[in-house]
Amino acid sequence: MKTIIHLLHIASRHHQNGDLSQAETVYRQILETQPENADVFHLLGLISFQRNCFTDAVSFISRAVAIDPLELAYLFSLGSIYSAVEKSDDAIKCYEKILEICPDSVEAYFCMGSILEQQEEIDEAIAHYQRASQISLGCWMHIFRKAAFFVLRVS
């Protein structure tokens, strides 16, 4: 019998090659042995997202979060999916949870800023972008581009 690590490697290779059906089959095979494998639920959610099956994507990734609520990758994926389907309030809750776990997450502040920008809550968006920039000088160029966009948009 193949080990879980071997099966994950096979499934991952299928996933990376775009053979989503075969990857899903192997991921589900893993769940038969490890029904609480959060990584597999997360990966099934990503496959669902790639297939534009957003309800399934949310369901799978929410299951991964329930199993391992401190895994930031799951919360980021869930927030991204909610954002993609314009469920901004749910996306923001994901990013707020990330900030509870990791208060210096530049990415979470930036994602929240982007959502707030889309909602035309400009002052709040700017505050989130500023917080991100305070945390990491490395994101200055990206923030500068966003600020320039705001200036052009507001003027």
* Tens-place pLDDT, residues 104-120: 899 999 999 999 999 99
Contact 67, 38 (CB under 8 A): yes
Torsion angle (degrees, nearest 10) of CA 49, 55, 61, 62? 160
Give me the mean pLDDT over the 74-87 stretch: 96
pTM over 0.85: no
- For 17-53, write each residue's pLDDT tens digit: 999 999 999 999 999 999 999 999 999 999 999 999 9
Can you give the three-state secondary structure of 96-120, one letter per residue? HHHHHHCCCCHHHHHHHHHHHHHCC
**HSE of 129, CA atoms in CB hemisphere, 13 A:** 22
